[in-house]
Structure 1
């Protein structure tokens, strides 16, 4: 069993990175958290509507647009939190925040599955690019696990695995695009399948420009709001003395992942099912790059060799949850317990069990 380790410097030591402007009291931290969460809730649905329209107008499709732009945009708060922790010399907080966010966001699909009542979400949102991105995510998560268990090495303080992760991410996105444009196979269409059929393009060039501007401005506000939530979570470590591993894997990770929860539920309610699933999987794939940023920001050597067993357990848990999700996308069970698929039940069960083990 894991006992919460002491990570880097003491949580109450007051060490701050150059990027950190934390709340100075517990009421301030709660105020930051509440304000940021409210802004995300109000603007998350708008961000999804703009993303859905841009997916149609650009011809990229929901799966690719959700995986690349929507997923990356909603991941900005988590990347800032991990970068801040790494700069402050807290490697386990940085890694736990990144990987804990991946696990939490996978569980958000369970919430979306509960919201969509017609059928199992993974059945209705059949998409070859989503399968490709899910397989890519498992491969990316395996690399930091291998790096941590391999002999220690670093080049200018950065592990070679970080460069491999970045290259694999770019190659994987290209493969997902090719799978969308020229699929070697397609999912069987059923009465409950909601395919991503782009709507007829109705905006002129100026209209598309306004859509992009609206998307960028909304994304900027959501990112700032999510950053505030992330900073509030980091301040809770300093102000309450809670374990950084616990805060990084649960509180900070969930707080900085709120954009994914809001946009995923909003996408399901708007009928953009493929966008909902691809936003989570694509966002999770992008979140692995937090580790690349954190490895570069952590100047005491490779970040993968500065972490203990708890973050490695989180990485293994994230791989397990992603693999279960992939099985659900392939099996495509129409209905299950509580009108959700077996994969949703399994993802929620393993996630709660993992958190229980971490806090034991």
Structure 2
């Protein structure tokens, strides 16, 4: 794709972004409907359905790069995605500014706190897997890799126990009226079509963005942490804004935390497909981005624990801290990149 002219690449990038944006709004609406139909609860719907589907481009890129033996591409994209997707919550917080209280206070629940803690634990296991020299292998996977998968499934079970069959009273009162929603079969069809559109357009988005950065001569590490990571976060932005419009605060935050918790699992997929030990191959910029994502998540975990009802500049104090830390983090990454 790098052989294509730059104007064509920019047009392809814009078209793919538009498709992903539209698909993201459909995914949020249909996930909300499926939550109600099956009684999963917003946190489960966000962590499992919405989080995995909006990360379909990452799954495709990880599989393709790993089968080609280019695991460094998968690593940089996945760890860079955790940080930028956490910053998406700043935009969602600002979008809900008319509600008075910050998003973390509106949506803070035991399920969301568990999801945020899971993100911290998963990133911690990734860092542990890097520094653990020659860890034991079980069925072709290292012990840290197995712990990553086990932690994710254990969190799903914990979430299921904490979730309720119906939305919280506050969400039920704030939710928009049904307004002739489609039937369940049509809803499932719309969900499947939007998922496929997210996959195809998301891959086109990443490939065209990669080619644009190559033409512009951008640093690989900075590009992965900014432009490419922002491109892969478009599904989360679209679905999150639609969740905010529907006043589904938990669904909006759970999509982000659930997706960030799922991304380290894809490192295990990369190890299986490539036949290589992926975690020991983490570079300095990868470790840097992983630590940055961990710090940003801790900001929102603290915000949900404090439940501060004040806003500053339209967002919560936790969102301001996240924005400042991310700006400093990217500046530091640019300084350390060749």
TM-score of the alignment, normalized to the shorter chain, above 0.5: yes
Tell me the equivalent position of 1:66: 46
Quick one: distance in 2 between partners of 1:62 and 1:196?
14
Q: Give the match for residue 280 of structure 1.
A: 256
Residues 196 and 248 (structure 1), Cα distance of their counterparts in 2 relative to 1, 3 Å cut: farther
Deviation of 1:214 after TM superposition, in Å, equals 1.3
CA contact (8 A) 1:148 1:304 kept: yes
SS of equivalent residue, structure 1 residue 333: coil
Deviations 1:267-322 (A, max 9, x none): 101211111011111111112222112222334x3122222211001111111111
Summarize deviations over 1:82-113 as a string: whole Å, max 9, x none: 33333444433321210111111111110011
Do structure 1's residue 235 and structure 2's residue 218 form an aligned pair? no
- Alpha-carbon distance change, 208 to 197 in structure 1, aligned in 2, over 3 angstroms: farther
CA distance in 2 between counterparts of 1:294 and 1:48 reads 28
Partner of 2:160: 177
Tell me what 1:17 maps to: none
**Aligned-residue offset at 1:31:** 2.4
Q: Is the 8 Å Cα contact of residues 153 and 302 (structure 1) preserved in structure 2?
A: no
Spell out, residue by residue over 1:3-60, the C-alpha distance to the aligned partner (whole angstroms, 9 max, x if none).
Answer: xxxxxxxxxxxxxxxxxx7663433322221111011222321221111111111111
Judging changes above 3 Å, is the alpha-carbon distance between structure 1 residues 26 and 293 closer, same or farther for their aligned structure 2 residues? Answer: farther
| TM-score between the two structures when normalised by the length of structure 2 | 0.89
Shift of 1:194: 3.9
Q: Which residue of 2 aligns with 1:30?
A: 10
Distance 1:217 1:85, change over 3 A: same
Match of 1:163 in 2: 146
Matches within 5 A, 1:3-42: 24-42=4-22
Does the Cα contact within 8 Å between 1:23 and 1:32 map onto a contact in 2? no
Change (3 A) 1:352 1:86: farther
Structure 1 residue 203 displacement after superposition:
9.7
Partner secondary structure for residue 131 of structure 1 = helix
> In the aligned structure 1, how far is the partner of 2:63 from the partner of 2:261?
17
In 2, distance between residues paired with 1:273 and 1:296?
36
Aligned to 2:61: 81
Distance 1:253 1:101, change over 3 A: same
Distance, in Å, in 2 between the alignment partners of 1:202 and 1:57 is: 15
Structure 2 residue 126 is matched with structure 1 residue 144? yes
The match for 2:83 is: 103
Higher helix share: 2
Q: Deviations over 1:125-144 (max 9, x none)?
A: 13221111111111111111
SS at match of 2:292: helix
| Deviation for aligned residue 1:76 | 0.8
> Alpha carbons of 1:179 and 1:197: their partners in 2 closer, same or farther (altered >3 Å)?
farther
* Structure 1 residue 221 corresponds to structure 2 residue 197: yes
Equivalents in 1 of 2:243, 2:254: separation in Å? 11
Equivalents in 2 of 1:36, 1:268: separation in Å?
Answer: 23
Maintained 8 Å contact 1:134/1:322: yes
- Structure 2 CA distance for aligned equivalents of residues 24 and 146 of structure 1: 41
| Number of residue-to-residue matches in the alignment | 330
Q: Is contact 2:85-2:233 (8 Å) kept? A: yes
C-alpha change, 1:234 and 1:357, in structure 2 (3 Å) is same
Structure 2 residue runs of 5 or longer lacking an equivalent are none
- In the other structure, the counterpart of 2:290 is 315
Q: Is the 8 A contact 1:143 1:165 kept in 2?
A: yes
Q: Which residue of structure 2 lines up, in the alignment, with residue 352 of structure 1?
A: 327
1:177 deviates by 1.2
Q: CA RMSD in A?
A: 2.7
Distance 2:264 2:156 in 1: 14
Tell me if the contact between 2:57 and 2:203 (Cα under 8 Å) persists in the aligned partners. Answer: yes
Per the normalisation by structure 1, the TM-score is 0.84
In structure 1, the gaps of 5 or more residues are: 1-20
For residues 196-345 of structure 1, the aligned pairs below 5 Å read 207-299=183-275, 301-345=276-320
